[in-house]
A and B are shown apart, each in its own frame.
Chain A
Amino acid sequence: KAGVTQTPRYLIKTRGQQVTLSCSPISGHRSVSWYQQTPGQGLQFLFEYFSETQRNKGNFPGRFSGRQFSNSRSEMNVSTLELGDSALYLCASRLGTTNNSPLHFGNGTRLTVT
């Protein structure tokens, strides 16, 4: 069974631009979550989607948005990029949204904003 796939692996953008990251979950997984990892801050939750609906949202500004398609694939968009948005963006999928359903992570998209 293929794992969580994120594209692209690396991305360089300039301030003010916008970016779209893509995530394909494990087949059969309907929940997709996005996390931002920066040095010293660990994994910070962005949002979670389940069956095309946003279920949870973290404390990030409105410049960060996402969506999920009917095939469970998800995209994350960041508009008006800032230098501080440079980070590893991780997508994770899980079978359901119950408390004992562990997340399975992709290898991330490394975004660098210059």
Chain B
Amino acid sequence: DQQVKQNSPSLSVQEGRISILNCDYTNSMFDYFLWYKKYPAEGPTFLISISSIKDKNEDGRFTVFLNKSAKHLSLHIVPSQPGDSAVYFCAAIAYSGAGSYQLTFGKGTKLSVIP
């Protein structure tokens, strides 16, 4: 049972345009969401996060939107740059007991920004 879904395995965008990466979740207990970016041969790096009490969080060219009623979040990158080409993972956090919170990741979306 996949609780965090990234339904688009890949996405191609022209340089300078907007990239929109989508993520859906099924577990209503998730209360914090994160996006990670991964280059080949490197570990994922934290990009941006959003709490379930907010619907938008911005950091420079990156904005994450959360629609709790639809259980959907998206990452917008504006403008897209060739260096943004990477695999993007959506992750969600829920309380797992014993004072600990567990992250669940989606399968990732490979973004290619074409110069």
Residues of A whose CB lies within 8 Å of any CB of B are 4, 33, 35, 40-45, 48, 50, 55-56, 90, 92, 97-108
Q: Are the C-beta atoms of B43 and A106 separated by less than 8 Å?
A: yes
Q: Are the C-beta atoms of B32 and A100 separated by less than 8 Å?
A: yes
Q: Complex: how many Å from CA A4 to CA B44?
A: 11
- For residue A44, which residues in chain B have a CB less than 8 angstroms away from its CB? 105
Q: Are the C-beta atoms of B89 and A103 separated by less than 8 Å?
A: no
- For residue B93, which residues in chain A have a CB less than 8 angstroms away from its CB? 99
- For residue B102, which residues in chain A have a CB less than 8 angstroms away from its CB? 45, 48, 56
Nearest B residue to A44, CB-CB: B105
Q: Known contacts A40-B107, A92-B43: does B31 contact A99 (CB below 8 Å)?
A: yes
The segment out of B12-20, B45-53, B70-78 that lies at the interface is B45-53
Find residues 70-115 in chain B having any chain A CB closer than 8 Å to their own CB. Answer: 89, 91, 93, 95-96, 98-108
- For residue B89, which residues in chain A have a CB less than 8 angstroms away from its CB? 42-43
Q: Are the C-beta atoms of B41 and A107 separated by less than 8 Å?
A: yes
Q: Complex: how many Å from CA A21 to CA B7?
A: 32
Q: Complex: how many Å from CA A74 to CA B69?
A: 39
Best-surrounded residue of A42, A48, A97 (most CB of chain B within 10 A): A42
Q: Are the C-beta atoms of A55 and B105 separated by less than 8 Å?
A: no
Nearest A residue to B95, CB-CB: A99
Q: Complex: how many Å from CA A108 to CA B104?
A: 18
Q: Are the C-beta atoms of B108 and A105 separated by less than 8 Å?
A: no
Nearest B residue to A92, CB-CB: B43
A–B Cβ pairs within 8 angstroms, 19 of them: A4-B43, A41-B107, A42-B106, A43-B89, A43-B91, A43-B108, A44-B105, A45-B102, A48-B100, A48-B102, A55-B98, A90-B43, A98-B101, A99-B32, A99-B95, A103-B44, A105-B44, A108-B42, A108-B43
